[in-house]
Chains A and B, each alone.
Chain A
């Protein structure tokens, strides 16, 4: 699925990623965790080709991402902050993305799920943060791609939508898809993820299941296990 070798990235003098090796072969839900500024978003954006690495190799579905852009057809991406062209209506945005992807989509079902019908004819600039995030989720899940990348998907969602989102994630997992998630909500991560990738100072500090993490840090609780890593490393 995703194969990353020796990935380095710095922005001017600020080193963000320094030698990431990551291999994800099977389906399932992978949570990318780490303190603020540990390079989670940079890692995700490197996979998407939005950030150009200084060094290293990334391949998605066996295809080197440097060579061409078609691999992004196999990725559904939910960006961290839902920023959309402000003078478009929700309906027009959906239509535009469908037009650009030229892919089968099941947006109607998702619009119903998140109760977005009353907003379809509203401009994106007038929507609240939570509603924008719902539109964002619809845009992400309306295509049937084997790889889903979610950057802070829970931001601004009400409890009901959060339940729907978890449902969508679990359905995707049951279909054998690979899902990458970053989140600061530890309870959400603990609930949905199969495996943790913990980034610290631009390197992978830990990769494995939640149980292994608890064992290694000698903590019985996931949140405390994470906190103890941070404390130990003064991060």
Chain B
């Protein structure tokens, strides 16, 4: 699997898009630092961008890479390699190169700004960790969609819809349900609701870590009580991990049964 990973990784490192993605984060990091001239505010602005953009890039890149490397995949399938090896290798290649662009692109300007000496280093690390999780989650989801759809246009369509649903529509539905049932106690429902969506979960995690839970409104207190504890943090990471593991398992399952 390491060999496939290596070739997929090199293949991506050679493509222009990895550099564009890296350069984008580099510029974003620098601009935010200059505009805010305050590390902790820059981290908050970054969060808003990362939470929406990382899933989008992961989804689009994942689908694009899968369809573009169809020939490569077919070549590999005739070699003495296991199918799970081939697809996991490609998946990790994409997810790792995207994560690297993210971590280096944001990390470099922040380190130069003096992150190491500042006390927001933990907030910043949490930001990068959730960003990496989101990359792995959405690349895996994208691979799932691409594996199930021979038709590229359909595959792209479903991938974008999935992103739109989790990044935008889910929040809308969630909010509407809160308004609809406002006469009932909703703290548990809203807690579960935000844990089921990886984007919401990441956002909540970061916001609470930044200690601005007042922004979360009336359920903020409940959230703080839950996520603020080590137990809540642990549960959150377990759920993020599940969001990676389950789609990856489906990649292996689907790949084993697919005709090429």
Task: List B131-163 residues whose CB lies under 8 Å from chain A.
Answer: none
Chain B, interface SS category: helix
A36 vs B15: C-alpha distance when bound (angstroms): 38
Q: Scan residues 139-191 of chain A and give those whose CB is less than 8 A from a CB of chain B.
A: none
- The interface-forming segment of A81-89, A193-201, A209-217, A226-234 is A81-89
Known: A45-B260, A51-B259. A87 touches B78 (CB 8 A): no
| 19 A-B pairs with C-beta separation under 8 A | A48-B77, A49-B77, A50-B77, A51-B260, A52-B258, A52-B259, A69-B81, A70-B80, A73-B80, A75-B78, A77-B78, A79-B74, A83-B74, A83-B75, A84-B72, A84-B75, A85-B72, A100-B76, A100-B81
Interface mask (B62-93 → A, CB under 8 Å = 1, otherwise 0): 00000001111011111111110000000000
Over the window 11-29 of chain A, the binary record of Cβ atoms lying under 8 Å from chain B Cβ atoms (1 yes, 0 no) is: 1000000000000000000
- Residue B14 is within 8 A (CB to CB) of chain A in the complex: yes
A-B contact count (CB 8 A): 60
Q: Is A71 an interface residue, CB under 8 A from the partner?
A: yes
**B72: min CB distance to chain A, Å:** 4
Residues of B close to A71: CB separation below 8 A: 80
Q: A77-111, CB under 8 A of B: which get 1 and which 0?
A: 10100011111100000001101110000000000
Chain B residues near A72: list those with CB within 8 A. 78-81
Report B77 CB to chain A, min CB distance, Å. Answer: 5
| Category for how many chain B residues contact A | 20 to 34
Contact of B260 with A87 in the complex, beta carbons under 8 Å: no
Assembled-state Cα–Cα distance A68/B82 (Å): 8
Q: Inside 8 A of A85's CB, which chain B residues have their CB?
A: 11, 69, 71-72, 75
A69-B80, A69-B81, A96-B7 are known contacts. Are A11 and B71 too (CB-CB below 8 A)?
A: no
Residue of A nearest to B81 (CB): A69
Closest Cβ neighbor of B259 among chain A residues: A51
Contacts of A73 in B (CB 8 A): 80
Cβ contact within 8 Å between B79 and A87 = no
Quick one: which of B14, B74, B257 has the most chain A CB within 10 A? B74
Assuming the contacts A50-B259, A83-B74, asked whether A97 and B79 have C-beta atoms less than 8 A apart, the reply is yes
Most buried by A among B14, B72, B78, B83: B78
Residues from chain B with Cβ under 8 Å of A45 in the complex:
259-260
Residues from 244 to 260 in B contacting A, C-beta threshold 8 Å: 257-260
Cβ–Cβ < 8 Å partners of A86 in chain B: 71
CA distance A50 to B75 in the complex (A): 10
> Contacts of B80 on A, CB cut-off 8 Å?
69-73, 101
Q: Which residues of A contact B (CB under 8 A)?
A: 11, 45, 48-52, 68-73, 75, 77, 79, 83-88, 96-97, 99-101
Q: A124 to nearest B CB, angstroms? A: 9
Tell me the bound Cα distance from A84 to B15 in angstroms. 16
A158 CA / B14 CA spacing, docked (Å):
34
The 9 closest A-B pairs by CB, nearest first: A83-B71, A73-B80, A72-B80, A85-B72, A77-B78, A50-B260, A51-B259, A50-B77, A69-B82
Q: Which residues of chain B are near A48, meaning CB under 8 Å?
A: 77-78
Contacts of A88 in B (CB 8 A): 11
Q: Which residue of B lies closest to A76 (CB)?
A: B78
> With A69-B81, A85-B11 as given contacts, are A99 and B3 in contact (CB-CB < 8 Å)?
yes
Q: For A97, list chain B residues within 8 Å (CB).
A: 75, 79
Contact A52 B257 (CB under 8 A): yes
A73 CA to B79 CA, complexed, in Å: 7
Scan B102-132; emit 1 where CB is below 8 A from any A CB, else 0.
Answer: 0000000000000000000000000000000
Chain A residue contacts of B14, Cβ below 8 A: 87
| Closest CB in chain A relative to B88 CB, distance in Å | 14
Contacts of B74 in A (CB 8 A): 50, 79, 83
From A49, which residue of chain B is reached at the shortest CB distance?
A: B77
B220-259 contact mask (Cβ, 8 Å, vs A): 1 or 0: 0000000000000000000000000000000000000111
CA gap between A79 and B71 in the complex, in Å: 11
Chain B residues whose C-beta falls within 8 Å of the C-beta of A75 in the assembled complex: 78
Cβ distance A15 to chain B, nearest Cβ, rounded Å: 14
Chain B residues, CB < 8 A from A84: 71-72, 75
Question: Distance in Å from the Cβ of B114 to the closest Cβ of chain A?
Answer: 39
A154 to B11, CA, bound (A): 30
Chain B 197-234 interface mask (CB, 8 Å, partner A; 1/0)? 00000000000000000000000000000000000000
A154 to chain B, nearest CB (A): 19
